[in-house]
Amino acid sequence: MNIQFTVLPGGKLQGLHRVPGDKSISHRAIMLGALADGTTEVTGFLEGEDTLATLAAFQAMGVPIEKLAPGHIIIQGVGLQGLKQPSVPLNLGNSGTSMRLLAGLMAGQAFSVEIVGDASLSKRPMQRVTEPLSQMGAIIETSGTGTSPLKIKGHQSLRGINYVLPVASAQIKSCLLLAGLYAQGVTCVTEPAPTRDHTERMLTGFGYPVEREEAKVCINGGHHLQATAVDVPADISSAAFFMVGASIANQADVILQHVGINPTRTGIIDILRQMGADITLYNSRTVSGEPVADIQVRSANLKGITIPEHLVPLAIDEFPAIFIVAACAQGKTVLTGAKELRVKESDRIQVMADGLQAVGIHSEPLPDGIIIHGGQIRGGEVNSHGDHRIAMAFTMAALRAQEKIVIQDCANVATSFPNFIGLVQAAGLQIEENRLST
């Protein structure tokens, strides 16, 4: 089934809105809650397909998880040694986060397991986690091209390593730290640039000691996780689409409530402000160890910039949305140092470049980035190639389009943003969802 979005030109973006819970934090709340001693209560949990795949994986390994209300779940932790061998392969759908983080956790179990994903996830590189895990003593079999399925052999004695990341990646860092829970000795990961630190924050929240010294983070095996309460803030990656929409639309004024503003995730705010966006943060506070604020965004005159490379890891998931701002800005926007975008749910550099061309915007893809020349978005038909963030980015582009934008292959929007259509309609977009036979 092909889900198609049709978005009429113009529309407004107004009002007070709360986007779904943070996907990264929701994944980690399930994982650490399952491995903790005691009962963990999670509120604000994102009930998207990716996070529900993580939840189902731990249920398949014997962890009792109960839904009390939308976004409100109770996890009866089984402790670090309490997981049971699943009777079937763990299917993680489209979730790269689930697969890479679970690879680390499964490497330390007393049973063997197979991890699989959908066609898109099965193309994404996994050597970046399997190679350092093998240095720790894990035995993992991949496909001939280093992708999933991952067959992880149990009963392996893991040992701590000191690993320097070849690329800035929170998924690799988190994978190794989670494997370090089961390793003898100290596991240290050194980053070439800061990446999201939700794993470190949440480990600390569950009572597991974490040491940080500049770019290096370390944990020592042998401690325990203690159950706690987790309040998941709204996902800044989902809020990013509304921030972009309000920045490019006419007479827009949007307030986004209870958004996580972890400093390893706020590259989107810094980049948009450099482009001239009108963004104000209110009511800053700390919830479950994570900084949170309400974010107001109004229409602004935008200009193209050269995006500082140090901000790239801090906005890596938000670049499809940022590219839409660049398309509406005066002058050109230059991005380099973002080769990681080519191995996301799609090749986001090429797919965005193709989509921008389809709606009348000139861009020049680079091996590690793109140059986008601001102009007039005409409208047209875009293929998102099953990438949820590309589908949502071009939805917002219609706010400045001359004609309607039709976006194909949008089914995976549900992986990260359930009820996206309803929320953007409430904010003022004229959008229609159609289910077409393929």
What residues act catalytically? 317
Would the CA dihedral through 371, 315, 34, 69 be positive or negative? negative
Q: Enumerate the β-bridge partners of residue 174.
A: none
Measured distance CA(392)–CA(133) in Å, rounded: 35
155, with CB counted inside 10 A (0-12, 13-18, 19+), is exposed
**Two tokens, residue 38:** 């005691």
Output DSSP code: residue 344.
S
**Two tokens, residue 131:** 């190679």
Contact 154, 112 (CB under 8 A): yes
Give me the residue label for tokens 């036979």: 437
Contact 204, 36 (CB under 8 A): no
Residue whose C-alpha is closest to residue 194's, from 246, 247, 264: 264
Please tell me whether residue 301 adopts helix, strand or coil conformation.
coil
Residue 43: how many CB atoms within 10 A of its CB? Answer: 17
Measured distance CA(292)–CA(270) in Å, rounded: 16
Name the strand (E) or helix (H) holding 236: helix 236-248
Give all strands of the β-sheet with 363-366 in edge-to-edge order. 332-335, 369-373, 363-366
Helix axes 348-358, 319-328, angle to 10 degrees: 30
Name the strand (E) or helix (H) holding 322: helix 319-328
Measured distance CA(135)–CA(183) in Å, rounded: 12
Give the dihedral of Cα atoms 25, 26, 28, 31; nearest 10 deg: 170
Residue whose C-alpha is closest to residue 101's, from 50, 66, 60, 63: 50
Measured distance CA(67)–CA(176) in Å, rounded: 30
Residues with Cβ < 8 Å from 300, sequence gap 6 or more? 247, 276, 277, 278
Measured distance CA(320)–CA(370) in Å, rounded: 11
Cα of first residue to Cα of last residue in the chain, in angstroms, is: 6
